[in-house]
Amino acid sequence: VRSDLHRAAHQKGPPRDATMDRASLGVVLAVFALVGAAAAITSRPSRGGSLDYGQIERINPLALPDSQALGFTQVAVAPPGAKLVLIAGQYGADASGRLAPGYAAQLERAFANLRVALDAAGATPEDVVKITILSVNHNMDKQRLVVEARNAMWPDTKPASTLIPVPRLAVDGMLFEIEATAVVHTLM
């Protein structure tokens, strides 16, 4: 025992066991850092936000206006390894390009077209994290229609949303357009 102590006292550099202890300590510290980061993320003050690894995180910070009743969320975060789906602006026309008559009919058709596009990409409305709406000569009557359509398509898991009033769109008579970004979970 005495010679082992003597050898350890005069050995140059750290003993092999100490090197292993430092590596173990590094792993333990890394785990504590990850647990602390996860706790910090989940403790952000928000309405309806949740963190579930592999799921889309939807956050409505308390410091921002409550947007849930209007049919959207303030922030959506995609999980690692997910497939990003970008849907071009869908508008109120059938497959032949014929526009539906009037704003309400075009809005309804545009949302139906969005469902078709999502399905073609293997996505669902619940996978949508962001929408951008373009609305010609927007007013509060049109706003009510938009809110109803958003809430019908996303009753629970609402995407982030931007609505931009515009004087006109690409095609004469086109009154409404919606584009979307979706996140589809992939098996890893």
Amino acid at 53: Y
pLDDT value at residue 45:
54
Count of beta carbons in the 10 Å neighbourhood of residue 70: 16
Place of tokens 């910070």: 61
Give CA–CA dist 81/78, Å, rounded. 9
Interval 3-59: pLDDT, tens: 554 554 555 555 555 444 554 444 444 434 433 433 333 434 555 544 444 688 888
pLDDT value at residue 38:
39
73: left (phi over 0), alpha (psi -120 to 50) or beta: beta
Place of tokens 């545009």: 110
pTM for the full predicted model:
0.67
Give CA–CA dist 157/35, Å, rounded. 26
Interval 104-124: pLDDT, tens: 999 999 999 999 999 999 999
Going by pLDDT thresholds of 50, 70 and 90, the confidence category of residue 94 is: very high
Count of beta carbons in the 10 Å neighbourhood of residue 159: 24
Both tokens of 133, joined, read: 């709406």
Which of the pair, 176 or 51, is modelled with greater confidence? 176
Count of beta carbons in the 10 Å neighbourhood of residue 134: 22
Give CA–CA dist 30/25, Å, rounded. 9
pLDDT value at residue 185:
80
Average pLDDT value for the chain:
79
Map residue 169 onto helix, strand or coil.
coil
Strands of 65-166, DSSP E: 75-77, 83-91, 128-136, 160-166
Q: How far apart are the first and last CA of the chain?
A: 52
* Residue 135 burial (C-beta neighbours within 10 Å; 0-12, 13-18, 19+): buried
